[in-house]
Amino acid sequence: MSESVDELRSPNVPLPSGNVLRIYSMRTCPYAQRARLIIAAKGISADLVNVDLNKKPDWFFDLNPYGEVPVVLHNGGHVYESLIAAEYLEEAFPDPPLFAKEALVRANERIYFNHWTKKGIPAFYSLLKAGYNDPELTQRLMQNVEVMDNFLKTLGKPFFHGDTVGFSDYMIWPWFERMPMLKDVTEFEIPRDKYPRIAGWVDLMWKDEAVQKAAFDPKLMTEHYIKYRTGRPDFTIGAKKPNVVEERLENLDGLRDPTTRDRQT
Which residues are identified as catalytic?
29
Q: What is the Cα–Cα distance from 187 to 198, expressed in whole angstroms?
A: 18
Angstrom distances, CA of residue 201 to CA of 123, 149, 186, 264:
20, 9, 22, 46
Q: Which helix (H) or strand (E) holds 204?
A: helix 196-206
Q: How crowded is residue 101: how many other Cβ atoms within 10 Å of its Cβ?
A: 7
Q: Is 115:152 a contact under the CB 8 Å cutoff?
A: no
C-alpha distances (whole Å) from 254 to each of 211, 243, 251, 257 are: 48, 22, 6, 10
**Which whole-number Å values give the CA distances from 174 to 19, 37, 182, 220, 234, in the listed order?**
25, 9, 12, 15, 19
DSSP string, 57-104: -TTHHHH-TT--S-EEEETTEEEESHHHHHHHHHHHS-SS--S-SSHH
Angle at the Cα of 205 (from 37 to 38), degrees rounded to 5? 15
